[in-house]
Amino acid sequence: MAVAAATAASRGNGGGGGRAGAGEASGARKKKGPGPLATAYLVIYNVVMTAGWLVIAVGLVRAYLAKGSYHSLYYSIEKPLKFFQTGALLEILHCAIGIVPSSVVLTSFQVMSRVFLIWAVTHSVKEVQSEDSVLLFVIAWTITEIIRYSFYTFSLLNHLPYLIKWARYTLFIVLYPMGVSGELLTIYAALPFVRQAGLYSISLPNKYNFSFDYYAFLILIMISYIPLPQLYFHMIHQRRKVLSHTEEHKKFE
């Protein structure tokens, strides 16, 4: 879900470039864009994020080479992963103050689902950190985010290499299902430990007449992944429109 969110054509995080698909295909929309100061800040932000996720990517590779196996690589990149993924919360602020033309609600939803997985599942339930499913979504996220942030950087500078655009709209075909599987498997793996420890749960009776069962909540979260295949096929459809539109543009150049 979080992977899909990040690669969803509808999310923008810089210039008009983020608004792919409908935005670029129409062109009838007036692109006001952020002012020069905001653009500079956003370029810095996106460059920093690209660098951050590259650090995570390199960290994964180095850990794999050092250990000789792909198990339990999470521990080697735990800190930068937490730092840079949590840093994405700023993107909600960007939408709220208007320097990025995306919907606050949509962006919040996407970023919060990522942050939830990092902190409320992986960090909180220590036993799942050695699971392979964690590696699955970390790799998916890493590749997606490197491409996404460099896409935004180039868009803001009005010089988007076709390769980046192609990558953004093509690699999701593999990365999206990969990421969703990793996330779902991780949550599923966490369930028994949550039940056992009564993690984040409160039961009756208590002073505020309230109860919360984190186990049931996680199951609801898993159920909420159900509409994602629909989004996936929508994105594939959008891809055809966006990439063919660019092809036509190139013909006229």
Partner 1 sequence: MWALPAWDPATINIPATMGQALCLPGALCSNLFWHIQCVPLPSPTRPVAWPCYPCSLEGFSKLCPEATWLRRALSSAVTTGSLARTSRVLALSYPHVHDGVEILDAKTREKLCFLDKVEPHATIAEIKNLFTKSHPQWYPTRQSLRLDPKGKSLKDEDVLQKLPVGTTATLYFRDLGAQISWVTVFLTEYTGPLFIYLLFYFRVPFIYGHKYDFTSSRHTVVHLACICHSFHYIKRLLETLFVHRFSHGTMPLRNIFKNCTYYWGFAAWMAYYINHPLYTPPTYGAQQVKLALAIFVICQLGNFSIHMALRDLRPAGSKTRKIPYPTKNPFTWLFLLVSCPNYTYELGSWISFALMTQCLPVALFSLVGFTQMTIWAKGKHRSYLKEFRDYPPLRMPIIPFLL
Helices (H), the chain: 2-7, 22-26, 36-67, 74-87, 90-97, 104-115, 132-156, 162-170, 172-197, 214-223, 228-252
- Provide CB contacts within 8 A for 141, sequence distance 6+: 2, 3, 6, 53, 85, 114, 179
Of 115-123, 139-147, 158-166, 204-212, the segment contacting partner 1 by CB under 8 A is 204-212
Q: Nearest approach, Cβ of 27 to partner 1 (angstroms)?
A: 16
**29 versus 67: smaller Cβ distance to partner 1:** 29
Of 58-66, 84-92, 206-214, 231-239, the segment contacting partner 1 by CB under 8 A is 206-214
* 36: Cα separation from own chain's centroid: 27
Residue from 32, 205, 220, 252 touching partner 1 (CB under 8 A): that is: 205
Of 97-105, 128-136, 162-170, 202-210, the segment contacting partner 1 by CB under 8 A is 202-210
- Provide CB contacts within 8 A for 110, sequence distance 6+: 2, 5, 6, 8, 11
CA–CA separation, 135 and 182 (whole Å): 7
Q: Nearest approach, Cβ of 223 to partner 1 (angstroms)?
A: 16
CA angle in degrees (0–180, nearest 5) for 195-201-205: 120
206 in contact with partner 1 (CB under 8 A): yes
Residues designated catalytic: 176, 183
Q: Nearest approach, Cβ of 28 to partner 1 (angstroms)?
A: 10
Within residues 207-226, the interface with partner 1 by CB under 8 A covers 207-211
CA angle in degrees (0–180, nearest 5) for 11-16-22: 60
**36 versus 205: smaller Cβ distance to partner 1:** 205
Q: Nearest approach, Cβ of 207 to partner 1 (angstroms)?
A: 6
Q: Which residues bind partner 1 (CB under 8 A)?
A: 204-211
